[in-house]
Amino acid sequence: MVIQDIDTGGPDRPRYQQIYAMLRERISSGAYPIGSNLPTEVEFCDEFNVSRYTVREALRRLVDQGMLARRQGSGSEIIATEPHRNFVHQVRSLADLFQYALDTHLDIRAIRKIRLPAKIATAVGGEAGSQWLEIKSVRRTHKNGEPICVTHSYIPDRLAGIEPDIPDCVGPLYALLEERSGETITNASQEIGAEPMTKAIANALGREPRAVALRLLRRYSSRKGTLIASFNWHPGDSFTYSMELQRNPSH
């Protein structure tokens, strides 16, 4: 394959931006077609003579623009030839959710113990009035980047000892909880709906109050009950949730 690259903006431009520009042009030109996987990070490190950190920063920008989906253990798949205005979140497995957590940044705003209100208790699988840990955060494209969603997470009191580890968590909280508690996740459920944003959520997302949000409720459970349940509010005008399901070949 012969690949021709574009002008990357000169030697004064940061190296990751030069690599991002080259990869974006390769994708747009069809050198890397939709549905195919990019070469590995190691191959790009050899090609451009840079560190994996530099390559990952270039790839992250392609993910942010909706051109690339990074899948744990499966490489980086081309999903669009041009940048999207929307943030596109593709999910085919728990591994995709894990990669999503690694490719984005969780900006934690508050952690506190609360007594569950009845409405929240029903949604998260707890008892009204029981004590849980509440975590309020904003997920961003990267540190100090654009907000993707506002998240309110709830952890039952039996797992509240994990609180000191939450601010330094790398990856999804459900994985940290599973590791520290020794409880294996047996069920993961998700509900998707739409509702008006509250003033606090709208402010965090840079939207007008009462603008429509896409609300995702994810709940991870073990045999002992809920490990963590999270409400995620995404701007309805700039977020796309893509899910691919495969039929069991035995049916």
Structural domain spans, the chain? 15-84, 95-243
Written as one letter, the residue type at 250 is S
Helices (H), the chain: 15-29, 41-48, 52-64, 94-103, 118-124, 173-181, 199-205
Residue whose structure tokens are 């940061």: 14
Q: What is the pLDDT of residue 26?
A: 92
Q: What is the pLDDT of residue 67?
A: 84
Q: What is the pLDDT of residue 63?
A: 82
Q: What is the pLDDT of residue 3?
A: 37
Alpha-carbon distance 220 to 205, whole Å? 25
Tens of each residue's pLDDT in the chain, 251 residues: 333 333 344 456 788 888 988 998 899 889 999 889 999 999 999 999 999 888 988 888 888 777 888 776 677 888 888 776 555 555 556 666 666 677 778 899 999 999 999 999 999 999 999 999 999 999 987 778 888 899 999 999 999 999 999 998 877 898 899 999 999 999 888 899 999 999 999 999 999 989 999 999 999 999 999 999 999 999 988 777 666 655 655 54
Between the CA of residue 229 and those of 10, 37, 43, 222, what are the distances in Å? 47, 33, 38, 12
CA neighbor of 213 nearest in space, from 193, 186, 190: 193
Dihedral pair phi/psi, residue 236, rounded to 5°: -65, -20
Q: What is the pLDDT of residue 93?
A: 62
Judged by DSSP in three states, 95 sits in helix
CATH 3.40.50.300 is right for the domain spanning 95-243: no
Task: Return the percent helix, strand and coil in the chain, to nearest 5.
Answer: 30, 35, 35
Q: What is the pLDDT of residue 1?
A: 35
Give the β-pairing of 239-243 and 87-91: parallel
CATH of 15-84, one of 2.120.10.30, 3.40.50.620, 1.10.10.10, 2.40.128.20: 1.10.10.10
Q: What is the pLDDT of residue 81?
A: 84
* Vertex 71 angle, CA 146 and 90, to 5°: 55
The DSSP code sequence of 53-77 is HHHHHHHHHHHHTTSEEEETTTEEE
